[in-house]
Amino acid sequence: MIDVVTPTCNRHKQLTAQAEKLGPQLRANDRWIIVDDASQTVPNWRTDIVTRLGNADQILIHCLTYVKGDDKSTVNRARSIGCNAARANAWIVEVDDHDLIEPGTLETIRGTICRGAVFIYGDFIATAEHTDRRQTMNKENYTPMMFRDQACQSEGIRAFPAWLYHVVGGYRWRGPIGLNGNEFPGGDYGLFVRMELFCDGQAFIRLPVVLCTVIRTQDSIGIRYGTKQSQIAGAVALAAREVGHPSLSMGPCGDPAKDAEFVNQMMERERT
């Protein structure tokens, strides 16, 4: 049983294209959870998506309404709401609104689940708006504790069981940016490292096939916040090595102010 989770904001065109690709891959007990993060109003967009998906009973749409402005850090909150809406015994498959799923992707993931995986990621094709250029991005095969020690395979589609998401505390979006606060723009990295620590790096599987096409836009988090993203990712990795397993908080005491100080210390150590 799969719950596909998609956070979105002002990308209804991409969602419509996603619905056409995703619909044929959903089985009767699968579901698509969309969390609209305070988009500007577009008439009938939900009707358009349901029509293209083909089955209204398989879609759950949460529309968040608040004054967002240009704040991108709310994406962690949207991801959290979507993953928390997943059924307890489901597998969560994260498919962002700009990650157009390839035919057969969900079946490939199902087969990998049956082989005993607890975390699944795969390759993707990178492209951009208004261009025909496409580049296949082949990720590294997983080795134990790779996320902590080398790099996190965050971009593209990821899949993991709902129970694992909850046991490691889920996405962090409250409080100041930093460990145990809002881990934007490295929220997915922080989550995946905690999963890796909990599982001792076992049963994480890279699929050597293209799972989606990632359409990179000028307002994407990676382009707008690339430097800050690298800083948070570096701090998370250093904190994971410093505090070590089995600590899932990866911070010294769970106090947001002291954790922010801890992050600064980790970043300073990395620079020196």
**In this structure, are residues 49 and 19 in contact, taking their beta carbons and an 8 Å threshold?**
yes
- What the chain holds in terms of domains, given with CATH numbers, is 2-266 (3.90.550.10)
Handedness of CA 264, 197, 73, 127 (dihedral sign): positive
CA distance 49 to 39: 15
CA distance 159 to 214: 16
Residue type, 171: Y
Cα separation values, 30 from 4, 27, 89, Å = 8, 5, 12
Crossing angle for the helix pair 75-84 and 187-199, to the nearest 10 degrees = 40
Cβ neighbourhood burial of 72 (10 Å; 0-12, 13-18, 19+): middle
pTM reported for the whole predicted model: 0.85
pLDDT per residue, tens digit, the chain (272 aa), is 999 999 988 888 888 999 999 999 999 999 999 998 878 767 678 888 888 888 888 999 888 876 555 666 678 888 999 999 999 999 999 999 889 999 999 999 999 999 999 999 999 998 877 677 888 989 999 998 888 887 666 789 999 999 999 988 888 877 776 666 777 766 788 889 889 988 988 999 999 999 999 887 666 665 666 667 677 777 777 777 776 544 445 544 445 555 556 555 655 654 55
